[in-house]
């Protein structure tokens, strides 16, 4: 691959993220370094740094790419649910299931890994913005913004410290999270 050609830029960044994804599953997110990613992607470290300024930028780009994919997937799955509390619970349950059953996403929640995932989820404006698409129209209310932030934290918490089983998690979500989906919030 000719890494530096302008027309290959977007594809090159995706190839680098794909190589990192494979390494995250094999070795764990926290131990994969930029040199490892460059080698796996078949490029130099200099080329890697052309696309991602740091390991943190690489992690963030991975998280953003996956957030876009997950939100599209889950949105399609719950689009027929019209009751806001039911839809909110269904969205979180679907997100939990998808992360847990996708090896490269589950890798972020293995022992010793979740702190990085939580940091990214709580600090990325893009992830929050994408999550808001679940809860609001073009002009989200302050309630929708706060609900989005809370649901991100709840989802991360359940990924880091799962309930007893799927039924237990659904019951917790129905009891403690669903009531927050008040009228006027498009969930």
**Angstrom distance (rounded) from CA 174 to CA 75:** 19
Answer whether residue 13 shows pLDDT above 80.
Answer: yes
Residue 177 has pLDDT above 80, yes or no: yes
Contact 107, 28 (CB under 8 A): yes
Nearest C-alpha neighbor of 62 from the set 150, 154, 127, 151 = 127
CATH of domain 1-53: 1.10.10.60
Domain boundaries, the chain: 1-53, 60-180
C-alpha–C-alpha distance, residues 54 and 84, integer Å: 40
Predicted TM-score (pTM) of this structure: 0.83
pLDDT surpassing 80 at residue 183: no
**One fold for 1-53 and 60-180:** no
Indicate the range of 84-93, 124-133, 142-151, 175-184 predicted with least confidence: 124-133
Q: What is the per-residue pLDDT across 96-154, written as a single tens digit (0 to 9) for each? A: 999 999 999 999 988 777 788 888 887 777 777 767 776 665 556 777 778 888 888 89
* C-alpha radius of gyration, the chain, whole number: 18
Q: Which fold has domain 60-180?
A: Tetracycline Repressor; domain 2 (1.10.357)
């Amino acid at each position: 691959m000719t890494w530096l050609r302008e027309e290959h830029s977007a594809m090159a960044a995706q190839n680098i993220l794909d190589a990192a994804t494979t390494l995250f599953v094999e070795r764990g997110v926290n131990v994969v370094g930029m040199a490892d990613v460059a080698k796996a992607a078949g490029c130099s470290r200099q080329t890697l740094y052309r696309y991602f300024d740091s390991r943190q930028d690489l992690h963030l780009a991975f998280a953003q790419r996956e957030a876009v994919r997950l939100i599209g997937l889950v949105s399609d799955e719950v689009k027929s649910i019209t009751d806001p509390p039911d839809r909110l619970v269904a969205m979180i349950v679907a997100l939990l299931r998808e992360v847990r059953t996708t090896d490269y996403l589950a890798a972020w929640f293995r022992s010793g890994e979740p702190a990085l995932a939580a940091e990214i989820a709580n600090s990325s404006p893009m992830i929050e913005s994408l999550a808001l698409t679940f809860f609001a129209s073009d002009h989200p209310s302050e309630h929708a913004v706060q609900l989005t932030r809370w649901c991100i934290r709840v989802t991360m918490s359940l990924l880091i410290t799962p309930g007893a089983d799927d039924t237990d998690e659904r019951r917790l979500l129905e009891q403690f999270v669903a009531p927050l989906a008040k009228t006027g919030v498009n969930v």
